[in-house]
Structure 1
Amino acid sequence: MTERRLAHSGFTLHRDYPVPLERVWDAFAREEEKYAWFAVDDAFEPGAWVFDFRVGGRDIAEGAFHAGPVSRFEGTYTDIVERVRIVNTYDMWLDGVHMSTSVASFEFEPIDGGTRLTQAEHGVFLDRFWADGPNREAGSRGILEKLGQYVTR
């Protein structure tokens, strides 16, 4: 029997990228660019992909880890202010089991020599995934590193 419990976890990450704000924004707002850094990874085989960058639009990114589980991201954009911020809610699934629901915000700020991106997130982790909050923060750090590699290449 599955233990029914919830855990809450939040974090805020800041990253400075040595490229213009438009370059970082486009990596989120243009499908071909987001796919290149968000959906493509040597660690898994990409699966379903949906990109609908508008308020009320939904994104889906699914991938099967080599010799491991299938991860599925389903997000909805709740607020977009061009070149200023993106707010979304998203659910994560692991092998078809609902893992978490989160709200995330991304703020874009021009700074001397580049762009500061601030990601703030609060997640609710469900049942057997109740202790996964620290892993989500670590995963988000890795995703922001991939973004940095992409926008500076």
Structure 2
Amino acid sequence: MITVAHAGFTLTRDYPVPIAELWAAFAVEERKRAWFGGGDEWTPGEWRFDFRVGGLDVDEARFHDGVLSRYEARYTDIVELTRIVTSYDMWIDGRHISTSVASFEFEDLGDQARLTHTEHGVHLDGLDDGASREHGSRLLLDALGRTLSS
């Protein structure tokens, strides 16, 4: 089935850390790797991290049930401690399932920091949908929160 579905969402989270620490969770490779795409349900594969405008991030991993997931993101805008904008593609078992534009906005709240993640996706051929992507993004932000509090 050849289809295109469009979906968007916005998620906002407050984290009990200074804004510089939240920023570092995105901008420093070891810190991003600690929360992004990890977990016991995956066997890690290719990983690339190039945090700069025009840089490419790749996170490929295999679920233990055998499904191969691949994420490729290009940084299109970075303003330190303020925002990150990416465009990214997702594949499952070599099939292109979506292309998205995502922004991450950082706000200093004094003793904590706010992250607002907004995403607009094009989901292809019934292989992905906006609700699933939003759910996955919520899980990632939960993992980020656990990493920041440890």
TM-score range, shorter chain: over 0.9
CA offset at residue 129 of structure 1?
1.8
- 1:142 is matched with which residue? 139
| Aligned with residue 44 of structure 1, among 28, 42, 45 | 42
CA offset at residue 24 of structure 1?
0.6
- 2:98 is matched with which residue? 100
User: Map of 1:76-115 to 2, 5 A cutoff?
Assistant: 76-115=74-113
Q: Deviations over 1:13-65 (max 9, x none)?
A: 00000000011100000011111111321111110000000000000001100
| Aligned with residue 21 of structure 1, among 16, 19, 22 | 19
CA–CA distance in 1 between the matches of 2:60 and 2:109?
34
1:35 aligns with 2:33: yes
CA–CA distance in 2 between the matches of 1:86 and 1:14?
15
- Name the count of aligned residue pairs: 150
- 1:118 is matched with which residue? 116
CA-based RMSD: 0.9
Q: TM-score, with normalisation over the residues of structure 2?
A: 0.97
SS of alignment partner, residue 23 of structure 2: helix
CA–CA distance in 2 between the matches of 1:39 and 1:118?
19
SS of alignment partner, residue 24 of structure 1: helix
- 1:71 is matched with which residue? 69
Q: TM-score, with normalisation over the residues of structure 1?
A: 0.95
CA–CA distance in 2 between the matches of 1:108 and 1:133?
23
CA offset at residue 68 of structure 1?
3.0
CA–CA distance in 2 between the matches of 1:109 and 1:30?
18
CA–CA distance in 2 between the matches of 1:120 and 1:11?
6
CA–CA distance in 2 between the matches of 1:17 and 1:44?
26
SS of alignment partner, residue 39 of structure 1: coil
- 1:4 is matched with which residue? 2
| Aligned with residue 53 of structure 1, among 51, 54, 62 | 51
SS of alignment partner, residue 128 of structure 1: coil
Structure 1 residue runs without a partner (length 5+): none
Return structure 1 stretches of 4+ with deviation > 4 angstroms.
none
